[in-house]
Amino acid sequence: MKRVEVPLGGRSYHVVVGRGAAGALPEMVPAQARRAAIVTQAGLPGVDPGIEHTVFEIGHGEEYKTLATIETLCRGFAELGLTRHDVIIGVGGGMVTDVAGFAAASWHRGIPVVHVATSLLAMIDAAVGGKTGVNLPEGKNLVGAYWQPSGVICDLDALDTLPDREVRCGNGEMAKYHFLTGDDLLAMDLESRIARCVAIKAEVVADDERESGRRALLNYGHTLAHALETTTGHALTHGEAVAIGLVFAAHLARHLGRIDDARVAEHHRVVEDEYGLSSVLPADTDPAALLAVMARDKKVLSDGLTFVLDGTVGLEVVSGITPKLVDDVLRDWHR
């Protein structure tokens, strides 16, 4: 069992990683909480927070990651009489922890939340760091809040029955961490690998909690990825889209003279050979539709599109990239 601290002063919390980690849930529940609202999905393992609790099930799939779901949950909290001294517990993958976190940030203007991550993606990324949000038809995660949890559980027992596609989804985010640090994560055992990803994110979040600077680097590959998720109706999982976004970002960086062909080839090798992911755009991809969604991305500035790009000094946020250049690279790469 490993514990990783997310150091945020008086709001610091721990992420517990290991088999049987769910047993640590009661110690993460705030002492003043009398009741817990457990937000989860059908078919996921139950948890025992050690206090009175009510289960709220939400639907499976990104089509339920909406403001309508938040309203349904909050009306349920009202019927339950949940107060700001109680706690919300999100049990599930990244979609669940995003929804539970945003509901917690919204209910009574913020009540404690604890996450029990059941997917690889949630363990290494979505459940950690306090970014919450839901989708609009116009784009992914356009409505949300920063709301740090009181603790996070990563019980590796939950991964034993994880479908292969969900593993690939997590691998897309793990490949991103490879480019952030150069760490050979696949050389580690699973517990150490997940704990290392959490530690990387924790260190970045502690330095830049609200993404005013360095935290934006965690969006590597995500500008195109979010557009792909939206335009395909989420036919691609988040991690699958991130894998494609990582490789596209490398091609864009090469076009801008930031990296050479060898570094682009390294992106292909890591994504395709090391993590077993596709870096090919779907056959029916419409670059114009992707650009329209990217123009609404929350990272966009007024002077053009914004991407995290590789370079001689590592990853950097690069703004002012013209839509025409992105379109040209997309069309050339998609041939």
Which one is catalytic: 178, 201, 254, 267?
Answer: 201
Which one is catalytic: 62, 193, 196, 211?
Answer: 211
Is 219 catalytic? The answer is: yes
Which one is catalytic: 65, 226, 234, 251?
Answer: 226
Coil, strand, or helix at residue 238?
helix
How many CB atoms lie under 10 A from the CB of residue 170? 27
Can you count the helices (H) and strands (E) in the chain?
Answer: 11, 11
Which one is catalytic: 14, 115, 131, 196?
Answer: 131
By DSSP bridging, strand 131-136 and strand 139-146 are antiparallel
Is 234 catalytic? The answer is: no
Is 215 catalytic? The answer is: yes
Which one is catalytic: 65, 140, 238, 267?
Answer: 238
The b/e string for 194-219 (b: 16+ C-beta within 10 A; e otherwise) is bbbbbbbbbebbbeebebeeebbbbb
Degrees, nearest 5: CA angle 84-90-95: 125
Which one is catalytic: 140, 193, 222, 267?
Answer: 222
The residues, ordered by sequence, that sit 6+ positions from 150 with a Cβ below 8 Å of its Cβ are: 13, 28, 29, 30, 87, 112, 113, 114
Which one is catalytic: 215, 234, 254, 267?
Answer: 215
Which one is catalytic: 135, 141, 219, 254?
Answer: 219
Q: Please, are residues 154 and 23 in contact by the beta-carbon 8 Å criterion?
A: no
Is 334 catalytic? The answer is: no
Is 141 catalytic? The answer is: no
Is 222 catalytic? The answer is: yes
**Beta strand extents in the chain (DSSP E only):** 2-6, 13-18, 35-40, 52-57, 87-92, 113-117, 131-136, 139-146, 151-155, 305-309, 316-321
Which one is catalytic: 62, 166, 173, 240?
Answer: 173
Q: Please, are residues 201 and 217 in contact by the beta-carbon 8 Å criterion?
A: no
Is 211 catalytic? The answer is: yes
Active site residues: 109, 131, 173, 201, 211, 215, 219, 222, 226, 238
